[in-house]
Amino acid sequence: MFERRSNAGYRPALEGIERKTLVHGQQTLMTEFRLRKGAVLPLHSHPHEQTGYLVSGRMRLRIGAEQHEVGPGDSWCIPGSVEHSAVILEDSVAIEVFSPVREDYLA
């Protein structure tokens, strides 16, 4: 599967947060998130392992009991079923890979 950069295909996830599934295979799915300053991703969990990379911006990310302020070039891994949340401190772009594939993120 190959995907060219495009501004089409973004879907609202929560207020101030939109996502676009970029590509996926049988075991992984890659998503781009556009996050607006002030948006909040509430505490939640899912069975998928989630590995992320912050392209631009700044946010406060909580994974389990740990909390970190992340900036461009920082990355993280959230094990499946671990609670996590985020507060967006600046307009941001993040790339995240989920395994197994999140069926709810497929078109």
Is 1 contained in some domain?
no
**How many domains is the chain partitioned into structurally?**
1
- Would the pTM of this model clear 0.85, i.e. be above it? yes
Greatest CA separation for the chain: 38
pLDDT mean across residues, the chain: 96
Is 47 contained in some domain?
yes
CA-only gyration radius of the chain, Å: 13
CATH number of the domain encompassing residue 65: 2.60.120.10
pLDDT digits (tens, 9 = 90+) for 57-100: 999 999 999 999 999 999 999 999 999 999 999 999 999 999 99
Q: At 28, which amino acid appears?
A: T
pLDDT band for 21, please (50, 70, 90 cuts). very high
Check if the beta carbon of residue 60 is closer than 8 Å to that of residue 89.
yes
Is 44 contained in some domain?
yes
* Partners of 49 in the β-ladder: 99
Q: What range does the domain containing 36 cover?
A: 12-98
Is 103 contained in some domain?
no
